[in-house]
Amino acid sequence: MTLQLSMYETDEGAVQDLFRASRERSPISVMLQLGEQPGQLCGLYLPRVVPEVPEFVDSDIRLEWSFSASRAQGEADDEIFIAFG
């Protein structure tokens, strides 16, 4: 399984840590929540994702980082968990 995400560059520590993990090829955990209302929620958890080094897109006013084809790792079908609530 692969994950693709884009974000605007900031000087926040979490964003800098994400860039460092991509350069070092270190796995990170990723949690995505879709929805806000009880009964309409979906959560995705990927415990070990190795982020690709981002491509820098400067066609907009702000610098965008595009992490494409970041690979989820796991053993015995445990690379993604999905919950509904």
Per residue in 34-54, pLDDT tens?
A: 999 989 999 999 999 999 999
Which structure tokens are listed for 36? 């806000």
At residue 33, the pLDDT reads 93
What residue ranges do the domains of the chain occupy? 2-84
Pull the structure tokens for residue 9.
Answer: 């560059």
Q: What is the pTM of this model?
A: 0.76
Give the position of tokens 């800098």. 16
Q: Read off the pLDDT of residues 5-20 as tens digits, 9 standing for 90 and up.
A: 888 888 888 888 888 9
Q: CB neighbours of 16 closer than 8 A, spacing ≥ 6? A: none
Beta-bridge partners for 84:
42
| CA–CA separation, 1 and 55 (whole Å) | 20
Is 65 in contact with 6 (CB distance < 8 Å)? yes
